[in-house]
Structure 1
Amino acid sequence: MATGNGSEPPKRRKGTRAAIGSTTLAQVARAADVSEATVSRVINRKYGVAPATRQAVEEALKQIGYERPLDNRLVVMLTPNLKNPIFALQGERVENELNPHGLTTIICPVYPGTPRERDYVESLVDAGVAAIVFLSSSNTLRDEDHRVVQFVESRGIPYVSINGGFPEYEAPVVSTDDWRAAELAVGHLWDLGHRRVGLLAGPTGNLPADRRVEGFREALRRRGVEDPEPFVVRQHFNVEGGRQAAAVLLEQGATGIVASSDEMAFGAYRAAERAGLRVPEDVSVVGYDDSPVLDFIGPPLTTVRQPIERIAENVARIVTSLISSRAVSNEEILVEPELRLRRSTAPAPSGA
């Protein structure tokens, strides 16, 4: 799905050049100890330049104050799918933040870690890709072959990741604070008197899922639970995965359930219904994401909201800085989530 604002490109700031002059090209070549042709290839992000050479040229460009123009350039967003409302909303927010800078966004739904992810990037890079945004794509998978980012690095294309980065490379990352999200959910249920609290966790090796598990364990240990592990059940981030995991927790007597996605929380509703239990009278459920439909299900779902607007603001700031060759920090930015109270949580049943 390709989108863009269609507006006129913004005026350039003073000192920003659309092209680098021949005199300056020679200066950069001398400073980096390379040929002018190599400098040109780096500026235009062409292949065939060694990483160390590319870095030397980029440093020389920064020294002379050269900034690449922002207008008429593409930003590619790689996301697992657009069926999940949270990915669609996040992509829309990032697009809205980038459009005023004259950047056109292309959203590519891919299955993370597959050849299709790299195929999208390779097919678009020569069209003038200014930057890549990994929106919960292969950057969330710990043990996958990250060939796509290897290709992006080889071409010197700047990139930023959302909700997890690539451990083998230093690049900017903007994430929801999943440890804090787990603390908010557990703390809410604990304050309502629930002492048998379980987690519907995502698959092992998925970075956000693993972080939420770590946060869940820490939150229970702080409250005196010595062994939280039996109350962590791993499954897929979908309704059926949530139903299967919740069924296990309900058999163990859980009265409070923390889901790692709103879809998994919907699965917990189904598991409770099949077990003859009511939400929230018998079991309380907390979701994660804050999908737009939550006010329209019964009962409306209490959830931990991902701060997609603030994530998008940070991503746009980083992307525009990277494209202009301005320095940015590679320290991961953790954005604070918030608890949205609805009617799927209530005090623990008496005697629980």
Structure 2
Amino acid sequence: MATVSKVLNGHDDVAPATRALIQTLLQQHDYTGRRVRAARRGAAAAPVELMFGDDLNAYSTAIVQGVVSAGAAAGVTVAVSLRTQDPPSAEGRRRAAGSWARDLVAAGRRAVISVVKDLTVHDLQVLSRANLPLVVIDPLHLPRARVTSVGSTNFAGGLAATEHLLNLGHRRIGYLGGPAAAACNQARLQGYRAAMDAAGAPVPDGYVRTGRFRYDDGVVGGAALFDLPEPPTAVFAGSDETAAGVIEAARARGLRIPEDVSIVGFDDTQVAWFAAPPLTTVRQPLQEMGGVALRTALRLAAGEKLDSHHVELATELVVRRSTAPPPGR
């Protein structure tokens, strides 16, 4: 025990072979110590790690703003990182998870906030063993384990977006969403279908398409919708970025927005404000979600009990100039 303690604390009076053996065993058992050396290095430790699993975009920027602002109000700093790929093998993922957790502990992190990242079973296990609480923002896939998460009322948002188009007189309405298995996409799609069913509006084959909530997917998916024998007169896109791609696909075919086709987005990011015309969209309170996640992470790090492990903030339809009655109405 004394020799292991010396290795953990960086003492020099341990033989190199013994040190190497102990370090190997520690890694094999995913051991993470609570010792923080950031102060010794002359750097202030950031207690919260904000981790993204995909390239940053307008959605990510709003989340970062909310988390950092809440952190400043609480007097804590936030470290932002990208962890986009996992090793292909199960053993590689286990080792990567253990190394990641050790790095977090060594850097003085007390909690982790994850955005747009499918955490593996190994990730959840090593975070639990390291006593690092986790909060997931707008999870793509709800994990099997009991994980604290913050999201929005995606079903209500999908319902409101589709009802807005129906109230304008549209009946041929397409849906272009994100990953098919993503929980947020499924909820938005269910809201869309519920509104269409209630109005007695059919959803023809090819009117529902999925992608990655990205601009390029909007261009490709929008083109597929507009090239149908009977194309939709309106499109509900699962994100503002996707909606911007749909607008480009429409323009490439000589279609005017909103005279020929109406488009609704989701998120209310800067993309919606700067679009031409400005985009009607469902406001997802991204900055507020980031703030709630930060405060929740700090509460968990302090050992406090939560009333609920999942919080949903309300969405709101914001009407701008990308929607109008269909042609001829």
Q: Same fold (TM over 0.5)?
A: yes
Aligned equivalent of 2:232: 254
Aligned equivalent of 2:80: 107
Partners of 1:239 and 1:263 within 8 A in 2: yes
Aligned equivalent of 2:316: 338
Local SS of the residue matching 1:103: coil
**Cα distance, 1:112–1:339 mapped onto 2, change above 3 Å:** farther
Structure 2: tracts of 5 or more residues without a match: 1-29, 34-43, 88-92
Structural mapping, 1:125-136, within 5 Å = 125-136=105-116
Q: String of CA shifts for 1:213-253, please: whole Å, max 9, x gaps.
A: 22222221222235566421112322221112112222232
Q: Tell me the TM-score normalized by structure 1.
A: 0.72
Report the CA distance between 1:305 and its aligned residue: 1.5
Match of 1:301 among 279, 289, 305: 279
Residue 194 of structure 2 corresponds to residue 218 of structure 1: yes
Match of 2:104 among 109, 112, 124: 124
Residue 16 of structure 2 corresponds to residue 47 of structure 1: no
Partners of 1:74 and 1:130 within 8 A in 2: yes
Q: What do you get for the CA RMSD once the two structures are aligned?
A: 2.6
Report the CA distance between 1:80 and its aligned residue: 3.1
Residue 299 of structure 2 corresponds to residue 321 of structure 1: yes
Aligned equivalent of 2:56: 83
Partners of 1:160 and 1:319 within 8 A in 2: yes
Structure 1: tracts of 5 or more residues without a match: 1-45, 50-70, 140-144
What amino acid maps onto 2:258 in structure 1? Answer: P
Partners of 2:241 and 2:271 within 8 A in 1: no
CA distance in 2, matches of 1:113, 1:258: 32
Identity value in percent: 30
Local SS of the residue matching 1:300: coil
Stretches (4+) displaced over 6 A: none
CA distance in 1, matches of 2:239, 2:61: 15
Aligned equivalent of 2:16: none
Aligned equivalent of 1:96: 69
Q: Tell me the TM-score normalized by structure 2.
A: 0.77
Aligned equivalent of 2:137: 162
What amino acid maps onto 1:91 in structure 2? Answer: V
CA distance in 1, matches of 2:212, 2:297: 31
Local SS of the residue matching 1:123: helix
Aligned equivalent of 1:208: 184
Match of 2:218 among 235, 242, 248: 242
Partners of 1:159 and 1:319 within 8 A in 2: yes
